Amino acid sequence: MINGGFEDYLECPLEITANPTDLEELLGNWWSASDQTPDFFHYCGGLQEPFGGAFPENNVWGGQAPHSGKGMAGFAISCGDQFGDYLATKLSSALTINKQYKISYWISNGDSRFLEVLGVACRTNGIEVLFTPQEIYWNDGTLMSGFTPQIGPADYIVTDSLNWVSFSHLFQVEQECQHMTIGRWSPSVLDSNCTCFDPRSAAGNVYFYIDDISIKEVVPIEFPNVFTPNGDAYNRVFQIRGYCGDLIIYNRWGQLIAEVSNDQGWNGRVNGEDAPEGTYFCITDDQKHKGAFQLLR
């Protein structure tokens, strides 16, 4: 990801966007994928008038502190699915087939001042994410059609407008993709107390703040069954591929002989001496992975 936390900017936002090109002019690496206007919020602008201001904690959508740092983005979806904003970006490197990825992000449900005045909460069950080889653009303000997002909507309705809610999804792509678009393609599943108002009043909008978007390749856990710390350049340390925590090593009698980070790995020594050949056991510090392996010299 490039600027997944919306911290870096070309120009400080002083008001929410008024046309589709504003977001790219402010952020550079994020833009609108349609004729609608997703928004950028940052503390750099100082406190502005609530209506139209881009100050995170005081704006027309109710206000929210960023999940982390000083910036965040936001986008609207009409309660009746007449229109939707789309956030688009180009990834730092392409996603490829036959690999598994994990996308993570944080969402908070913004309430517009119209909804607050009317005392009605209008919310849907989350967002969707689409990965494509090329940049896409929808040249009107309606919801996009003809696309199948790799990340579908959440199983539950996002209702929290006070706190941030964490989302993460595992996914694969069927072709090499370097462009990501966040928004809504499926019909909304609405909260039971959601009422769609006249779109001209802007009261029928569902609004999401989004922050700290990241994408990582998921490397399968590979537990080796042998390692050879014999002085050559191969298999010098015992490590578990795809694991990020600590390793706890026991000998065949169940005695603890080493506890090391997986990044460092176990070098086959105990108290400065070479451990004897034989069978050893390893458990990861999260207790999720364990197995036996052979030490050979």
pLDDT at 6: 97
Q: Is 77:124 a contact under the CB 8 Å cutoff?
A: yes
- Strand 100-110 to strand 165-171: parallel, antiparallel, or no bridges (unpaired)? antiparallel
Distances (CA, A) of 180 to 30, 94, 125, 248: 10, 10, 20, 40
Query: Torsions phi, psi of 255, nearest 5?
Result: -90, 135
For the chain, 297 residues long, the average pLDDT of each consecutive 10-residue run is 96 89 94 94 84 85 91 86 90 94 92 54 77 94 90 76 89 96 83 51 71 92 89 85 90 94 93 93 90 92
Considering just the CA atoms, what is the radius of gyration of the chain in Å? 25
Question: Which of 77, 132, 139, 88 lies closest to 110, judged by CA?
Answer: 77
pLDDT at 201: 46
Question: Which of 210, 204, 281, 278 lies closest to 240, judged by CA?
Answer: 281
Query: Torsions phi, psi of 201, nearest 5?
Result: -85, -10
